[in-house]
Amino acid sequence: MHELILHHYPTSPFAEKARLLLGFKQLSWRSVLIPPVMPKPDLTALTGGYRRTPVLQIGADIYCDTALIARRLEVEKVTPELFPEGQEFDVAVLAQWADSVLFLTAVSLVFQPESMALRFANVPKEFVEVFSKDRAQLFSNGSVSRVPLEQAKSDWPTYMARLEQQLARSEGEFLFGAAPSLADFAVAHCLWFLRATPVTAPLVDSYPEVHAWLGKVLGVGHGSFSELSGEQALQIARDATPAALPDEAFAEPNGYRQGQRVAICAVDYGSDPVEGELLFAGSEELILRREDERAGVVHVHFPRVGYRIEAR
């Protein structure tokens, strides 16, 4: 049994989502800290070019995107459930909305000048310039662009009023009942991001139902973890053999074949292609086989939704 290894950095909102998922599942894991900006040589040796944060490693299997990481953790430990029985569709759809619409709106609010001045008040000017260029590149080759600040400010009260109503009328303390689900963590990491400075914190804390709920979600913590170096993580991948493929029929509606050389990339942003041999295409997951001189043979896993396959 291989350890769970999370490649992340502390201020990443999606990394906070993954850390909370690990905490909710009460799992032990290893922490590999990665740079917040490119280059990320140890990470890209494992992923083949995927640069978004976080990434979950289990031996020689590399899981990209928290949407898929959540499903892998559900397999790792069945309870407590991230997708409660009978609510799977509702939870997945709300989580997808939060990870896209709500997150991009939150990014616009966080990146407004007054907020950024506080976030980077004690950071060298040179890093601020590198960070700004890196994030501009992140959005340069995908299908989405940043939400205009004026639109984000206009939309935010509506989103929060809807959350207030949902929480007030829920039959429990969380979005879908008495226990948190993936939907709670997907919404929470966006709000966690906003609470980082006094400029944006009132956009969350001025809503009493949301404020109380967020405290409970963040209160699950991050589980038990210990540090690991990037080189150690690469050695673990080199020494491991990828897990067997899922027991599900290969199904690719665009005609790509098992064993074909392809590239997979995110559709929205951070669309850096990862090339390899297409091993598996299922209802939720795509898997590439690739070989790297530092990482060895690895299987890189992507969600189907939000990612595209291209012939190579």
CA dihedral (249, 289, 28, 67) positive or negative: negative
Whether the CB-CB separation of 240 and 234 falls below 8 Å is answered with no
Which string of DSSP letters, residue by residue, matches 132-153? HHHHHHHTSSSS--PPPHHHHH
pLDDT at 236 over 90: yes
pLDDT of residue 90: 97
Q: Which residues contact 28 (CB under 8 A, 6 or more apart)?
A: 3, 4, 223, 224, 225
pLDDT per position as a tens digit, 16-32: 999 999 999 999 999 99
Q: How confident is the model at residue 122 (pLDDT cuts 50, 70, 90)?
A: confident
pTM higher than 0.75, yes or no? yes
Cα 184 to Cα 95, 119, 180, 269, 301, distances in angstroms: 8, 25, 6, 23, 24
Tell me what the mean pLDDT of segment 66-86 comes to.
97
Residue type, 220: V
| 3-state SS, residue 256 | coil
| Separation CA 273–CA 297 (nearest Å) | 18
Q: Which residues contact 37 (CB under 8 A, 6 or more apart)?
A: 130, 131, 134
pLDDT of residue 145: 86
Domains of the chain and any CATH numbers: 4-80+224-311 (3.40.30.110), 88-216 (1.20.1050.10)
Give the angle subtended at the CA of 94 by the CAs of 138 and 173, to the nearest 5°: 125
pLDDT per position as a tens digit, 153-165: 999 999 999 999 9
Tell me what the mean pLDDT of segment 287-312 comes to.
97
Identify which has the larger pLDDT, 310 or 122.
310
pLDDT of residue 55: 98
Burial category of 170 from C-beta neighbours within 10 Å (exposed 0-12, middle 13-18, buried 19 and up):
middle
Q: How confident is the model at residue 171 (pLDDT cuts 50, 70, 90)?
A: confident
Q: How confident is the model at residue 1 (pLDDT cuts 50, 70, 90)?
A: confident
Percent of the chain with pLDDT over 90: 93
